[in-house]
Structures are given as structure tokens and as C-alpha cells.
A and B are shown apart, each in its own frame.
Chain A
Amino acid sequence: MKVAGFLARFVVLFGLAAHCFAAQLSDCHALRHHGHLTEAQACFNALLSAADAFTRAEGYWRIDHYDEANEQFRIAYKEEPTSPAVRAEWGRLFLERFNPKEAATLFEEAIKIDSNYAPAYLGIAKVGAQAYDQKAVEYAREALRHDPKLTEAQELLAYLALEDSNPDAAAQEAHKALTLSSEALDALAVLASIDWLNGRQHSEWMDRVLKINPVYGEAYATGAHFLVINRRYEEGIKYYRLALELNPRLWPARSQLGVNLMRLGFESEAKRQLEECYRGRYRDAETVNSLRLLDTAKDYETVTASAASIVLHKKEAALLRPYVAPELERAIAVYQTKYKMKLPGPVRLEMYPNHEDFVVRTLGLPGQGGLLGVTFGMVVAMDSPSARPPGEINWASTMWHELSHVYVLTATNHLVPRWFTEGVAVHEESAASRDWGERITPEIVLALREKKLLPVMELDRGFVRPQYPAQVIVSYFEAGKMCDYITEKWGNDAILAMMHSYANRKTTEDAIAENLHETPAEFDRAFEDWMDKQTGNTTRHFEEWKQGMKTAAADLESGKRDAAIHELRAIEGFYPDYVAAGNTYELLGQAYMEQNDKTTAIQELERFRDIGGRNVGALKKLAALEQESGKPREAENTLLKLNYIYPEDQELHHRLGGLLLEKGDAAGAVREYQAVLALQPQDPAESHYDLAKALRAAHRMNEAKDEVLLALEAAPDFKPAQQLLLQLSQ
């Protein structure tokens, strides 16, 4: 009985203490909410002596002792096997400390314990929000369904709506949050962000924030986030600085400041900021990977062109420079005329041979799936052609795309909706060269068939928070087609006029009304009709095409070439944009080659080339066939196109060098043979000799002699080089 009496007293005492600490935890949060950071710190410190691990965990977490907090949560997890709160709070810690996967697992566990536990739904919503996942919205709503007074969920909805470029909905959601709590700081931050996005430097909403919490830098950081995702990087940086002025220990803001400074090319300050985060134990993927990337700066060299600087990896600078620099200058000259403007300074183009390094540049940005390039103000970062398997990208097309953003963003003072700048950029790719840009992929055909295109007023959402896996790609396609349509119907000046409308802070609705003299609904209807003319044949015959392709492939496999050709001819018009593996052009080319009909095989492969086919093997084969068939200029054309797709191929440069030299284009031949040497050829003697011949043809005799000496140094008995040396020494 004594024992029982003691336990009873302990339980009472413990219960009181727990209640006490719970009240204290809420007090601590209140202190922090109101900006009394020192007092809050002391308050949380006091929680470390709590009897229960859960409260201790909360205490450790808020004084930034994450490992200890994690340890205490682990104990609480065992102590309280039926507590959804322990799981949800532990999940929040994981989410804050860069482990969303573990966080999601814990939130789901909490829901299993209590399917009505709103904070767990909110946790999943927050995980989704980090990844710009559509389920963020669904789960935030679910959280509110279970707890209509969960202010944080309401604030999150406001935040997500603004990410979706819907300021009206965002404001509406924020006001709902404020009705739940007049001190909903994050709702106020969203409202202030709307003001900042609209160019109002001073926001009364921010005044309200500061009255509640004078050191709530998070509000400025929220604004900075929205400015950044709207590609207004410089303003974003300014707001991150304001956030840090209020609270220098706001590590996420400092990290983002560093990341965005890096994006704009301010590398030394970026490094300083990121290193400070690292020292402050804020080591999320963006911080660490950005620091790693900055550490590789020594591996790159900067080439200055007339209106640009080009940053290339040292291992491929010699190869790429002769192609990239003139192409960039050409693009600048074309855009300068087309957009009737000069850029305020030089463009900085960065090309990354390691795709992962490029990915670091895009971390934290929405719609990054499959990105090849990204523009930050005057800085363009992109995959170098060597970053992808041969044929996957056309680097010049990507470069023109990104450079278009530089002009559109500059012309609109970065006040352009995502759909428009992406649409113009996609449009510019095929305007620069008909075979550039992406073709209609089967996933786009399916989206078209299922009428999944978004109305123009909602198209931004397709980029930011896709509702199905292919939606980002479909949105790029749709935006590009919209700009094709505008250009076709109203002329390129309409695009320029829309840019000016956006620069004047007009909405898409206004920009369409002012320049296209339609409502968005009318625009959507007419665009749909136009699109049907463009793609209706493909969408209506897609199934027939698929079946025909299967039959033709089987016929080819079993040696029935005539039947395969017949089938392919019957379906080739249904889906001419299909240039991926197993396309009609290559299959027909193969069938005709097997019939020794080289002429028709060449015709098919030339159609493949001209419609935008990028299979390096097929294009190399085409060039060889053209050359063999006495069509050197066509072979040259094919090889020049290959230079935009896969310049890492020695054979292509060697062949092209020969053709150009034969034609009398000595400068072109020099460029191509220099490319061969830059690729560290298997046979350096032959390559130096080729270059020497081209240099001699270009009347650069001293350089020619140097090259022939290099050839003979590698292979002293190389007779053609010996003869050339004798000729050059006469």
C-alpha cells in the first residue's frame, strides 16, 4: 500500500508538473512570437529540466540543440506510443532539419494513431510545399477540415496561393487566417509580400508585423522568397538582407541570401554568407551543395566576348569557346534588333559539364524537372552539352531560350508572369532555327487529347505546382504555342507590346485586352481552334499511329521490308513531330538502306534532321551517306547541325574539317581541327597534321609549321607530315 500511495502522489505531482511545463511551453512560444528572443531562450532553457522527454525535446529544439532534441524525441516516441503530438512535433523537427522524408513518415504515423489530428496533416502539407507539390494545398485544406481554427494551415494556404501567382486568393486566405488570429504573422507576411510584389516598398502589413514582433525577419524572408520565385533576384536579395538586419540568426534567410548572390554571380559574398550558415550548423542541401559548387570555381575559366562573359569548365573551354562565343553574340545581335533594346550590361553565361553542378543552381526553384538552363537576371546557367547523353539536348537552342529570358526579364523589369517569359523563350528557339526546340512528345499528345491545357490566366500554375507528372513540360509547350499563335496572328510587335504592358505592372488580362483586344476567355477559345489545326491530326490519329509503328517495327524485325515501308508511309503524316527512338524517319531510312536504296534513305534521314531529330548516330550516318553520295554541302549542313547537338564527337569535327577545307573555308576547317585536338584525340599526330594543313590554307604559315612539328614530335615517321614540313620550310 505504501508503494501504491507513493505512486499515486507521484502521478499527481508528475501530472501537475507536465501541465506546468505545457503551459510554460506555450508561454515560451508566445515570447518568441512577440520577438522577446532572449526571454524566450531562457524560457525554453527552463524546459530542459522537465520530467517528460517530449517537453525537453521542445526545449532543446528551440535553443538550437538539435541533436539533443532529436534524442529526447526518440525517448518520447517510446514513452508515448499513442501520442500523435510527439510524432508530429518530431516530424516538424525533421522537416526543419532538412529531412522531409523522415518527417513525412512521422506525420503519417501520427495520422494512423489519430486520423483527426490536424497538425499531422499540416505537417504533410508543409513537406509538399517544400517540393512545390500540389498535395500541399490538399493537405492544408484537410488540416483545416479537422481543425478549422488551425491558423498555421490557413496561413499556409495563403502562402501556397501566392506561390501559384494568385494574389487575390492569397489575400483572401490570409485574411481568413487573421480572423482566426489577429497576430498571424505569416498571414501578414503574405499580405506584405503582395504589396512588395506590386512594387509598393512600404507595406502597412509589415508595420503590423513589426508591432507584434519587432524582430520578425521571417516576414521579409517570405517576401524575398516570392520575389525570387518571380525571378526578381536583386529585390529578393534586398529583402533577405532586411530579414537578417532584424534577426541575424535567421539561417534559412542567410542561406538563401548566399544562394541568390551566387546565382547573380556575386560569388565571394555568396561564399561568405554560406560559410557563416555552415558554421552556424545550418547545413541544408542548398547551403552545402552551393558551397561545394563555389569551391569548384577554380576549375572554370571566363572568356570575355563583346557583350558577354562565358564561364566554361577548363576541361572543355578550348572545345566549346569557338562555338559558344559566336553563337551567343549572334543571339544577342538578333534579340537586340527584335526586342528593340540593349541590355544594361554584359550577360554571364555559365555552362556546367556536370549536371549535378547545374542542378545546384536550380535547387529550391519551382518547376525544375528536366531543366536544361536557368536565368537569373543577367546570369544564364545551363548544362554544357557534355552534361547529357549525346542527342539529349541542343545546347544552342537552350542558350537562345535562356537569353530570351534575359531580354524579357530586363524589358519587363522582372514583372512578367512565368507563362509569358517561358512562352516567348520556347517560341524563340524555333524562331532561331526551325529544327530547334522541343517537339510534341507523346505525353503532350495525351494531354492535348484529354484537354488538359490550362486557360491562359491559370497557366502559371502548371509551372509552379503541377497536377500531373508531365504538366510542367505540357505548360512549356502550351506557353510556347501561345506565343507562336500571338506572333502569327498579331505579329511580333504584339509580343513586344505585351512586354511593355507587363513592365507597366499590367496583369495578363490587361495585357491581352490592351494588345490583342480580346478577353482571356476569347483568347483561350481562339487559341484552342488554332491549336486544333496545328495538332488535331496527331491527336486524332494517335492510336492508329501507335498501332502502325508496332506493326512496322515487327515487319522490319521479321525482314518484311516492303510491308514495313508500306505501313510507315501510311502513318508518317499522323505524327511528324515524333523524333524520339523508333521514329518513322529512322525506320524508313533503315528499311531503304536494307533495300540498297541509299537515295531514299538519305531523303528520310534529311527529313528527320530538318524536323529536329537529334539522334547523333543517325545524323552521323546521314552525313557519311551524303558524303559518299557526292553531296558534300548537305553533309556539311548535317555536321554543322550536329555541332549544336553533340560537339564532343571527334569524328564529326574531323569530317567537317575535311569538307570545309575542300570547299576552301580554311577558317572553318581550322576551327574544326582545333576542336578535334581539344578533345584529346586518339591520334594526335594526324590531328596536328590536319590542323597544319588548314592553317596553311588560311595562310597562317608559322602556326602551320608549329602544328606540323607537333605532329612529327608524336610520330617522327609520319610521311605526309614530313612532306608538309619540307614544303613549309622552303
Chain B
Amino acid sequence: MKSAKLLLLAALALRAETYYVNVAGLGGSPDYEKQFTGWASELDRELRANGPASHVITLTGTSATRSHIREELSRLAGEVRADDAFALLLIGHGTFDGVDYKFNIPGPDITASELASLLNRIPARRQLVVNMTSASGASLAALAKKDRIVITATKSGNEKNATVFARYWVDALRDPAADTDKNGAVSALEAYRYAEQKTAAYFDTEKIIATEHAMLSDDGSANGVRDPKSERAQGLLAAAFPLIRPQADIAKSATPEKQKLLAKKEELEARIDRLKYQKAALAPDEYKQQLTALLLELARTQAEIDR
């Protein structure tokens, strides 16, 4: 059942539009200013490359003010449809005073609660918020909501050092290695795992104490997890939220014969997915035998489609 839900969401996503709002906050020093703006520009470029179904707004420097953010999000509240997807990506510094999380921007800062109320007015059922700032863990509770994926660069408001997570999040959108299931798209879950692992490896390699621990929550709760697993009901929505997707939509131009093959492929993928969920319950040999048969059939079907 879980697999069927994922496929349905993916199918819906094909017809929907995706709206991205990237905001690079205040750097506080020329180096950070340059870094944050640079990452936001790269995000902008990678997301625009998705094609015309991607609508990307990027606010940096003096345009990343509270009033501009409010303005853009309010405008989108009237433009985005329920079937569309919406993503808000925040880069920069954040602070937490024990009560409120604040995203540091030119002029007055914006709080997590304020952002949440703006996002709640956007009709898109599938929403993604990636808060890559320091202390971003403190924003999770306010931002968490049913059908919304919330990713934070830190596990709490107490992780106050400038983060590196954003750097790897941007890398995830252009590194083919991030597409771990090799379906040509990079989902929010794949990007999260990529950035989380690269961030951990960065601290490990440099032999410095890790000052950030990314979290993901997409079950509507404020209980983010570092390693989302479907058994823990975390990561399901993120897996079905494509950030980068192949532009060519084969299904649209397929012949009836190919349509059949595509349907067969989809069915085989679903069966493989179900089998994987049953792995623990099956004898290893039996699992391997069934998996081999399905994968061979899928490979043959794909070869037919590509012929």
C-alpha cells in the first residue's frame, strides 16, 4: 500500500507545477555574504534547469527582506494550486533565543511562526521547507505540518555555528551520485541523505566536533529524525518530492505498444518495491530468487522500451 501511494504521488507530480522560493539571508561578513548569495544563485540555476514547470524565485542581498518574503509568499498563496508542489529554501544564519527561531535577513528578522503562517496560506498540498541556517532545528516545531516536509540543518536551536549543509544541498542537485535509485530524478529525500552524509563526512574528515546535525520530518510531527526510514514513517513524502527531474516525459509521446511496456515496467517496479519490504520475512535464498526474476524481467522490459 505504501508503494502504491508513492507511485500515485509521483504520477500526480508529473502533471503539476513546482514553485521554489530561495532566500539567502544576511551574511554578517563579506565572506558569508558572498557564500550565501553564491549558493542561492546556484540553487536558482539548478532548479530552473528543471524546465518550464519549475517556477523559481530567489531573494538575495537587499531583496531578501521580511516585507519581500511576505509579499512573495502572499502572492504565491493566490497562484499556487492544490496539486502543485511548493518549496521554500532558506540559506544563511538563524538564531534562537530560547523561544523564537529567527531567520536573519536585512532589516527585521522573520520568525519561524510567521513563516509557518505564510506557508499555511499556500494551497499546495505537498510542501517542502529546507531551512539550512544555523539554529534551524528550532524552527522545526513551528513549521511541521501534515503533508509538509521539513528539513533543518541543525537538530536544535543550540547548534549556533554557521552551517555547511547548504553547500552539500546545492551539490546534491548537480551530482549524479545523489540520484541513488538511478531513476533520473533527485528527490528531497535523496538530496537530504546526500547533504547529511557529506556534512557528517566533512566534520569527520576535518577531525572537528560536528556543530550541526541535520533533521528531517515529514510525518507532520516536530520529531525530526537524522536517518529517515519508512519503517519509522519518516521519509515517505520526501522520497516522492522530486527536486530535479528528467525533462523528457516519455509517457506523453509513447505509442500504445510502449504505453503497455511502461505500464508493465511500473507494475514490476511496484512488485520489486513490495518484495523489498518483505525481505526480512523471507528466507535469503527465496528473496534472492524472486528479486533476480523481477529484476531480470524489468531489465528486459526496459530494453524493449529503449529499443
Contacts and interface: CB of A to CB of B under 8 A. Distances in A.
Given A683-B177, A717-B181, A726 B288 contact: no
Given A648-B205, A686-B177, A725-B296, A715 B302 contact: no
Contacts of A729: 296
A9 interface: no
Contact of B182 (A389, A681, A718): A718
B182 A685 contact: yes
A389 B205 contact: yes
Given A714-B181, A715-B180, A389 B207 contact: yes
Interface in B269-307: 269, 272, 276, 288, 291-292, 295-296, 298-300, 302-303, 306
A712 B295 contact: yes
A726 B198 contact: no
A82 interface: no
Contact of B299 (A685, A715, A726): A726
B103 interface: no
Interface string B250-280: 0000000000000000001100100010000
A715 B207 contact: no
B183 A715 contact: yes
Nearest to A729: B296
A709 B288 contact: yes
B178 interface: yes
A390 B204 CA distance: 10
A685 B288 CA distance: 17
Nearest to A686: B177
Contacts of B184: 717
B235 to A, nearest CB: 15
B181 A716 contact: yes
A354 B302 CA distance: 47
Contact of A719 (B181, B205, B302): B302
Contacts of B206: 389
A366 B247 CA distance: 66
A300 to B, nearest CB: 19
Contact of A682 (B177, B296, B299): B177
A723 interface: yes
Contacts of B303: 722-723, 726
A371 B205 CA distance: 20
A341 B281 CA distance: 56
Contacts of B221: none
B197 interface: yes
Contacts of A726: 296, 299-300, 303
Nearest to B180: A683
Contact of B194 (A682, A686, A718): A682
Contact of A725 (B197, B268, B288, B299): B299
Contacts of B302: 717, 719, 722
Interface in A690-730: 709, 712-719, 721-723, 725-726, 729
A394 B198 CA distance: 24
B194 A709 contact: no
Q: Is chain B's binding surface mostly helix, strand, loop or mixed?
A: helix
A709 B180 contact: no
B178 A723 contact: no
A684 interface: yes
A313 to B, nearest CB: 14
A388 interface: yes
Contacts, number: 75
A716 B269 contact: yes
Interface in B102-160: none
A527 B183 CA distance: 67
A682 B190 CA distance: 10
For B182, B272, B296, B298, the residue with the greatest tally of chain A CB atoms inside 10 Å of its CB is B182
Interface string A311-335: 0000000000000000000000000
Nearest to A706: B288
A686 B64 CA distance: 39
A152 B203 CA distance: 50
A683 B298 CA distance: 21
A254 B197 CA distance: 45
Contact of A715 (B181, B194, B197, B291): B181
- How many chain A residues sit at the interface, stated as a range, is 20 to 34
B205 A714 contact: no
B295 A682 contact: no
A20 to B, nearest CB: 58
B295 A725 contact: yes
Given A388-B207, A389-B206, A683-B177, A713 B197 contact: no
Contacts of A681: 177
B208 to A, nearest CB: 9
A305 to B, nearest CB: 28
B180 A682 contact: yes
A685 B302 CA distance: 17
Contacts of B291: 709, 713
A716 B295 contact: yes
Contacts of B182: 685-686, 715, 717-719, 721
A691 to B, nearest CB: 15
A388 B207 CA distance: 7
A176 to B, nearest CB: 49
Nearest to A651: B177
Nearest to B265: A717
A648 B204 CA distance: 11
B276 A713 contact: yes
Interface string B179-222: 11111100000000110011000000111000000000000000
Given A686-B177, A717-B182, A709 B295 contact: yes
A721 B183 CA distance: 12
Contacts of A716: 181, 268-269, 272, 295, 298
Contacts of A388: 207
A712 B288 CA distance: 12
A682 B183 contact: no
For A389, A713, A721, the residue with the greatest tally of chain B CB atoms inside 10 Å of its CB is A713
A719 B181 CA distance: 11
Nearest to A716: B272
Contacts of A686: 177, 182
A716 B181 CA distance: 7
A682 B288 contact: no
A390 B296 contact: no
B112 to A, nearest CB: 30
A714 to B, nearest CB: 6
Contacts of B292: 709
A721 B180 CA distance: 13
B230 to A, nearest CB: 14
A390 B179 CA distance: 27
A714 B269 contact: no
Interface string A606-627: 0000000000000000000000
A390 B205 contact: yes
For A389, A683, A721, A723, the residue with the greatest tally of chain B CB atoms inside 10 Å of its CB is A683
For B177, B205, B268, B299, the residue with the greatest tally of chain A CB atoms inside 10 Å of its CB is B299
A303 to B, nearest CB: 24
A389 to B, nearest CB: 5
B180 A685 contact: yes
B266 to A, nearest CB: 11
Nearest to B300: A726
Interface string A383-408: 00000111000000000000000000
Nearest to B276: A713
Nearest to A684: B180
B8 to A, nearest CB: 18
A-B pairs, top 5 by smallest CB distance, nearest first, are: A718-B182, A722-B299, A715-B182, A683-B177, A715-B181
Interface of B: 176-184, 193-194, 197-198, 205-207, 268-269, 272, 276, 288, 291-292, 295-296, 298-300, 302-303, 306
5 contacts: A682-B180, A686-B182, A717-B182, A722-B302, A723-B299
Given A389-B205, A713-B276, 15 more contacts: A389-B207, A682-B194, A683-B176, A683-B178, A685-B181, A709-B288, A709-B291, A712-B298, A713-B291, A713-B295, A714-B180, A716-B269, A716-B272, A719-B306, A723-B303
